[in-house]
Amino acid sequence: MIKFERYKLDNGLQLIVYPDYSTPMVALDVCYHVGAKNENPERTGFAHLFEHLMFGGTKNIPDYDDALQHAGGENNAYTTNDLTNYYLTLPKENLETGFWLESDRMLELDFSEEKLNVQKNVVIEEFKQRNLNQPYGDVWPLLRELAYKVHPYQWQTIGKEISHIADASLEEVKAFFYRFYAPDNAVLILSGHVDPEECLKLANKWFGDIPNRNVNKAPIPQEPRQQEFREMTVERDVPDTALYLAFHMPDRRQRGYYVCDLISDVLSNGNSSRLYQRLVKEEKLFVELDAYVSGDHDPGLFIVSGKLAEGVTIPQAKAAIWKELQHMQQELVSAVELEKVKNKLEANLVYSQMNYLNMAQELANFENIDRAERINEQMVIYRSISSADLMLQAQELFQETNCSQLNYLAKK
């Protein structure tokens, strides 16, 4: 059982403190409840742009990194479709420096045309590098557009297209900041060598005066149930032809999410898994083959992706994968196989929770879903799942009308 303290400041900021006295270090994590799904479809990539802008300095602290390094700290950030997460680690003696730095940039950034243009150029180069200039770089944009027609998961965090960032004005960027980067749209997590009462005192001292911005987010349009098989074929200059099958699956609040996660592990977690043993090792149809869940907070995707062996056609590869998916629908996974998958998953979970920074990020993630307390419920749910649950979920999940197929052909 992970034990943590929870508080709420008058301005709406949630505070979660997880003491871990096995380390002399502290992790300070600020998770804003804004991701790519909260963007205007005509101005995508803003949440990710802010991942860069937030390190550009404030009027009070021109150089964030320099100030943190003087305190012996390190920092980083990441953006998903659901959240934007900023985290730093530093020695416990310098904890207050972290509060000072993070509260200052929550209050106000040093906005200027010059700084915006610098970061826009960085993001545009990243877009080119990630989506245009590397093999298989446009797989996710294509797959998202194919699978989603309504939900904003149809674009990546980097954005739908370069022009959305290139054309962004300083006024639009400022408006996005003051709309979402606020105490009443964030959670502050402290993990490591911390005293909960001291953290509450410091939170009130540094964050307490930041005004509540009455964050009122527009409802996210929900994706209707897919009613037809979708297929897209593209040809690219890549070494191997690849096949991607995407199925809509339950969201992170539902038990079905955990069932799908176990199905993905039965199919492809490790060299003893079904897809590897049968389709890579025995039948030699694929050189790589994986099944995984996207991990999104709203209903996400269950993906089966593989790179085809030389001479294998898309229809052959597709038929072989569907045969394995049908086994999941028609035959109970043995108790031994299911227990092995659960044990491996639990071992990974326990191992990840030994790290104070991982703990801060996990608590932030669950709080963004809806409540951090879910961190103590996940293994209970996994343990309660039966072979019959896997079969029933597979029957619902693996339907042709719920499938979007991307054929990614290597140029001859």
Side-chain half-sphere exposure of 39, counting CA atoms within 13 A: 33
Q: How confident is the model at residue 270 (pLDDT cuts 50, 70, 90)?
A: confident
Distance CA(210)–CA(217), nearest Å, equals 19
Reported as a single tens digit per residue, the pLDDT across 49-76 is 999 999 988 989 999 999 999 999 999 9
Q: How confident is the model at residue 167 (pLDDT cuts 50, 70, 90)?
A: very high
Identical topology for domains 5-207 and 230-410: yes
Reported as a single tens digit per residue, the pLDDT across 345-355 is 999 999 999 99
Q: How confident is the model at residue 269 (pLDDT cuts 50, 70, 90)?
A: confident
Inform me whether the pLDDT recorded for 218 exceeds 90.
Answer: no
- Residue 237: the pLDDT is 95
How do the domains of the chain map onto residue ranges?
Answer: 5-207, 230-410
- 3-state DSSP helix/strand/coil percent for the chain, to nearest 5? 45, 20, 35
Reported as a single tens digit per residue, the pLDDT across 91-132 is 999 999 999 999 999 999 999 999 999 999 999 999 999 888
Q: Please state the rounded mean pLDDT for residues 280-309.
A: 97
DSSP calls for 56-72: S--SS-S-HHHHHHHTT
- Residue 186: the pLDDT is 98
Q: Please state the rounded mean pLDDT for residues 143-151.
A: 98
pTM of the model: 0.95
Distance CA(25)–CA(194), nearest Å, equals 9
Chain center to CA of 404: 21
Q: Hey, what are 404's tokens?
A: 């979007």
Distance CA(396)–CA(319), nearest Å, equals 19
- Please give the single-letter amino acid code of residue 406: L
Q: Which class is 230-410 in CATH? A: alpha beta
CA-wise closest residue to 404 among 323, 277, 305: 305
Rg (CA), the chain: 23
- Residue 299 near residue 251 (C-beta atoms within 8 A): yes
- Name the DSSP class of 40: B
Mean pLDDT over the full length of the chain: 96
Inform me whether the pLDDT recorded for 208 exceeds 90.
Answer: yes
Phi first, then psi: give them for residue 136, nearest 5 degrees.
65, 15
- Residue 216: the pLDDT is 85
Q: Name the fold adopted by 5-207.
A: Cytochrome Bc1 Complex; Chain A, domain 1 (3.30.830)
Q: How confident is the model at residue 271 (pLDDT cuts 50, 70, 90)?
A: confident
- Residue 170: the pLDDT is 96
- Residue 354 near residue 23 (C-beta atoms within 8 A): no
User: What is the three-class DSSP state of 154?
Assistant: helix
Q: Please state the rounded mean pLDDT for residues 154-164.
A: 96
Inform me whether the pLDDT recorded for 364 exceeds 90.
Answer: yes
Phi first, then psi: give them for residue 190, nearest 5 degrees.
-115, 125
Reported as a single tens digit per residue, the pLDDT across 7-28 is 999 999 999 999 999 999 999 9
- Residue 45 near residue 159 (C-beta atoms within 8 A): yes
